[in-house]
Amino acid sequence: DTAVSQTPKYLVTQMGNDKSIKCEQNLGHDTMYWYKQDSKKFLKIMFSYNNKELIINETVPNRFSPKSPDKAHLNLHINSLELGDSAVYFCASSQDIAGGGTQYFGPGTRLLVL
Amino acid sequence: GDSVTQMEGPVTLSEEAFLTINCTYTATGYPSLFWYVQYPGEGLQLLLKATKADDKGSNKGFEATYRKETTSFHLEKGSVQVSDSAVYFCALSEKSQGAQKLVFGQGTRLTINP
What is the tens place of the pLDDT at every residue in B43-74? Answer: 899 999 999 999 999 999 999 999 999 999 99
Whether B93 and A100 lie within 8 Å, measured CB to CB: yes
Q: What is the mean pLDDT of residues A10-24?
A: 97
Nearest by CB to residue B43, choosing from A90, A97, A98, is A90
What is the nearest CA distance from A38 to chain B, expressed in angstroms?
11
* Residue among A93, A58, A44, A34 at smallest CA distance from B105: A44
* Residue among A101, A75, A53 at smallest CA distance from A5: A75
Q: What is the mean pLDDT of residues B14-40?
A: 94
Q: What is the mean pLDDT of residues B99-104?
A: 86
| DSSP structure class, residue B66 | -
Task: Find, in chain A, the residue whose alpha carbon is nearest to that of B48.
Answer: A102
Q: What is the mean pLDDT of chain B?
A: 93
What is the tens place of the pLDDT at every residue in A30-89? Answer: 899 999 999 888 999 999 998 888 888 887 899 999 999 998 999 999 999 999 999 999
